[in-house]
Structures are given as structure tokens and as C-alpha cells.
Amino acid sequence: MAMERLDSETETTPTAIPHWYDGDDDIPTIVDGEDVTVYDSEGTAYLDFQSQLYCVNAGHSNQQIIDAIADQLARIPYVSSGKHNDTRNELRARLLEVAPESMAQTLFSISGSEANETAVMLAREYADASKVLTRWHSYHGATYGMASLTGDTDTRAYIEPHATTTGNAKFLPPIPEAFDAETPEELAEKAANHLEFVIRNEGPDTIAALLTEVVAGSSGAYTAPPGYFERVREICDEYDILLIADEVITGFGRTGEWFGAQSEGIQPDLMTFAKGLTSSYVPLAGVMMNDDLAEYVAAEGFDVGQTFAGHPVGCAAALAAMDVYEDGLLENTREVAPRLESRLTDLEERFDVVSSVHGRGLHWGVAFADPEADEPFVDPRVSDEDDNPVETVLSTAGENGALFGMGRPNTQIIVSPPLCVTEAEIDEAVDALEDAIESTF
């Protein structure tokens, strides 16, 4: 599907605005921000309950991070990844202090997509196998490789008509819609058995890795039922498959721990992260790996660096952001998260169009479904997005002063504020959402 250029006569505005598109719609132009609040060019304030793209974890305009960036720029802005750099070395050591126990070494990258590419490239090289397993209902990035590994249909629509790409197989996520299960335990068991079935049918020797978000990000913030990831770890061990945790959204405090792997009790073999690492003030991403992989890289080399990978300015921002998380924001996340959970759960009780609410820490999904049909309002592959009432809820909440994210698929709203959010701001933003649901349905 070729993308059409928009002009002022175009009647509809795409939900995701192409980078070159600059106007003629009612989407605010953000010019300023502080903590949880952003301001548009008219001076209107909005509570940013999307943290832009689930990434400004320290809040907007944090002076400590800005100063660290300025200091690094004044000292030496760039040192290539083939040389040592003090800031980069310091960050490498700091990451080891907070990462899950299984992690032993870091390769830096630039974006979440590229960190995942690097992890998959390394896994394939190490395992000498090509296939990678990913979940339906997942998002791993917008490069050719990652868009094809991604489970959501919108993203894959850009890739699949043009390229068959990399060997991969998808499996069902452990969500109630996918399995007929009475209890969370039964759901965990059935979903893990299904995964094992997929592995045995694909041929375990052909599979290098299983790549998964530990709490789903843009595809709905769903968490796995208790016991599921324990089984996934056992299955990966049994069939010699590397477990890669995509922590691009869940990393750096979003779930209430440094990493989602810690809140979900997982020891991955590889772990990728980006976004919250620098609170997104500048781009930086990374891949951490276990001892075996670190030894393999040390012995065999892995010479596929990128010019901007591990950029010192990003590393300086990351060190400062980590200080900010450690000095209060991790604790704040744990303190205010129950308030967000209870306010959102109330929505499920109050509105029959809210079909489920799920998440962890400060990352939540509010799913909508037609109560008559008992199914989501819109299947984005067959319906006109303009008919989607969830889009109306989102834009009305914006008019009410609170910005939220649209999930993929677009039948759910993602709630993911900066980690410095207060309970009063949670109340204000959820009130705005509640009013929007009430006026839409």
C-alpha cells in the first residue's frame, strides 16, 4: 500500500503523523514541557499520560539530565564506538549494578529497533540457527527485520507485501482471548503448552531465539499469568533457545523495578532497552547479554557497530536519568501505581464498553469492546478508522486536558505517565478519560 502525500485538501488525518506532515489538523504543536505537563503553541496545558511514546520516564525538562548533556557536549561531544570513552565505560558499569542477575555485558545501540536487530543478529550467530519466535500482539520496531518479527498487523502491513524477510514463527500470547481457560493458572499452562507445540513443529534446532516483551507495550500492556514465564524459561532451556526480553518500554522503572524482567521474575539471556534509558532526551539504546554470550563475543568478536551507537551525549543523559530514577522515581512509581490501577479498574466496573484493564506499575491498557457483539469495535484491517469510537475517546480526553496513547490494534487506550506523576495528576487525567468515555458512548 503506497502512502499518499497529505495536503490541505485531504480530509482525514492519519493517526500516526508522518514526519514530514506539519499541520492543518487539530493535533497540538507541543512547544514546552515540565514534569508531567506539556504546553502547546496556544499555551494550552496537557497532562502527558503517554510520556510521549512511553519514554519520557523522568518527566519533561529535568534540569539534572539537561545539565549532564550540556557538560558532556562541552567536554567532548563524540567518541567513536571503536575507542574507549569514560562516560560510556561508567554507564556500562552502572547498568550491571541494576540489571537482572543473568546479565553480564552490554553492547550499545541507537534505537529500540536497532537494539533488537543487534540482539537477534547475535543470537543467530551464536546459536547457528535462523528462526526467531515472537508473539502475535507484539511490537519490536520499524526496521525491516523488526517489523516482520512484530505481531501487530498494522506494522507488518508495511513490510509483508514487499519482503518475506527473516525466518520467524509467531505464537499466541498468554491472553484470555487466545485460550479457553477458567483460571490464570490454566491460561499459563495452556499458553506454555501451545508455545512448546510451536517449537516442536518448527524444529527446535532451527530456532535461535524467542523474543518477547515481558509486559506488552503498545499492543495492550497485558501481563502474563503467574507461572507462565517460569515455564517459558524452562522450555527455552530444554530446547536450547535463547530468551530475549524486549525491555524497550518496560526498562528503567516503568513497571516499578529497574526492568520488567525483575517485576515479572525472569532471567533473560539477552535484554534490549532504549526509550527510558535517557528518558528519551537524546537517542540511546543497548543490548545486555549473559555470561556465555559475553564470552562468545569476547572470543569471536562481533564487529557490527554503528556510528552513533553508545554516543557519549546519550551515555551522559543515561547516567543522569538513572540517578533521577534511583533518587526517588522508582519509589514514586511503586507508591502511586496502586492509585492508577484502582482508578482504571473502576472504569471497567462503571462502563460496559470497557472490556478489560491490565498492566503493571505505570503502564496500563484500557480495552474497549462492543458489549452487544462482545468483540472489539474495530478490526483495523477491515474497518474505517474514522468509525472507531475509541479514537473519539482519545481525542475528547485530549480536549479535556489529558493525552493518552492509542494501542495497536486501535481498540485500546494506553495509559503511561512519566514516573514523577502525582496521585492528584492521576485523578485529574483519569477524570478527563472518564468524561471522554461518558460523552462518547
Residue 119 touching ligand PMP (CB under 6 A): no
Which residue number, 155 or 333, has a Cβ lying nearer to ligand PMP? 155
Distances (CA, A) of 24 to 13, 17, 43, 104, 384: 9, 12, 18, 50, 21
Residues in the chain: 441
Contact between 317 and ligand PMP per CB under 6 A: no
Per-residue contact flags (x/-) with ligand PMP for residues 266 to 295, judged by CB under 6 A? --------x---------------------
Residues 139-178 that bind ligand PMP (CB under 6 A): 139-142
- Cβ atoms 266, 229 nearer than 8 A: yes
CB atoms within 10 A of CB 214: 27
Return the axis-axis angle of helices 423-440 and 330-350, rounded to nearest 10°: 20
Q: In degrees, to the nearest 5, what angle opens at C-alpha 112 toward C-alphas 223 and 279?
A: 85
Q: Taking CB under 6 A as the criterion, which residues in 39-78 touch ligand PMP?
A: 53
- Min. distance of Cβ 185 from ligand PMP in angstroms? 27
Q: How far apart are CA 186 and CA 171, in angstroms?
A: 17
At closest approach, how far in Å is the CB of 209 from ligand PMP? 15
CB of 142 to ligand PMP, least distance (A): 6
Stretch that binds ligand PMP, among 211-219, 235-243, 359-367, 376-384 (CB under 6 A): 211-219
Q: Any contact of residue 112 with ligand PMP (CB under 6 A)? A: yes
User: Apex CA 152: angle with CA 182 and CA 139, to 5°?
Assistant: 95
From the list 37-45, 213-221, 230-238, 304-312, the region that binds ligand PMP by CB under 6 A is 213-221
Q: Which stretch binds ligand PMP (CB under 6 A): 136-144, 157-165, 257-265, 322-330?
A: 136-144
Report if residue 257 touches ligand PMP, rule: CB under 6 A.
no
Toward ligand PMP, which CB reaches closer, 246 or 434? 246
Torsion sign, CA atoms 62, 64, 65, 68: positive
Q: Residue 421 — φ and ψ, nearest 5°?
A: -65, 145
Does residue 212 contact residue 224 with C-beta atoms inside 8 Å? no
Binder among 117, 189, 213, 391 for ligand PMP (CB under 6 A): 213
Residue closer to ligand PMP, measured from CB, 309 or 354: 309
Per 3-state DSSP, the chain is made up of helix, strand and coil in percentages (nearest 5) of: 40, 15, 40
**Interface pick for ligand PMP out of 35, 189, 246, 257 (rule CB under 6 A):** 246
Find the shortest distance in angstroms from Cβ 316 to ligand PMP.
19
Residue 255 binds to ligand PMP (criterion: CB under 6 A):
no
Find the Cα–Cα–Cα–Cα dihedral 105, 223, 210, 405, rounded to 10°. Answer: -80
Place of cell 485531504: 10
Q: Which cell is 3 given?
A: 502512502
Spatial CA neighbour of 429 closest among 350, 348, 347? 347
How many angstroms separate the first and last alpha carbons of the chain? 33
Which residues face 415 on adjacent strands?
364
Window 215-244: contact mask with ligand PMP (x via CB under 6 A): --xx--------------------------
Give the residue closest to ligand PMP by C-beta: 112
Smallest gap from residue 85 Cβ to ligand PMP (A): 22
**For the chain, how many helices (H) and strands (E)?**
14, 15
The answer to whether 96 and 104 are in contact (CB under 8 A) is: yes
Closer CB to ligand PMP, 62 or 111, in the complex:
111
Closest CA to 420 of 56, 64, 98: 56
- Work out how close the CB of 420 gets to ligand PMP at its nearest, in angstroms, rounded to a whole number: 21
Among 132, 215, 249, 266, binds ligand PMP (CB under 6 A): 249
Distance in Å, CB of 143 to ligand PMP, minimum: 7
**Helix (H) or strand (E) segment spanning residue 24:** none
Q: Which three cell numbers stand for residue 78?
A: 563524540
How many residues touch ligand PMP under the rule CB under 6 A: the total is: 16
User: Which of 102, 113, 134, 388 touches ligand PMP (CB under 6 A)?
Assistant: 113
| Least distance between ligand PMP and beta carbon 182 (Å) | 30
Which residue in 140, 151, 154, 137 sits closest to 219, CA to CA?
137
**Residue 264 in the binding site for ligand PMP (CB under 6 A):** no
- Pick from 85, 111, 255, 440 the residue near ligand PMP by CB under 6 A: 111
Nearest to ligand PMP of 52, 422 (CB atom):
52
The enclosing H or E element of 36 equals: none
Residues interacting with ligand PMP, by CB under 6 A?
A: 53, 111-113, 116, 139-142, 213, 217-218, 246, 248-249, 274
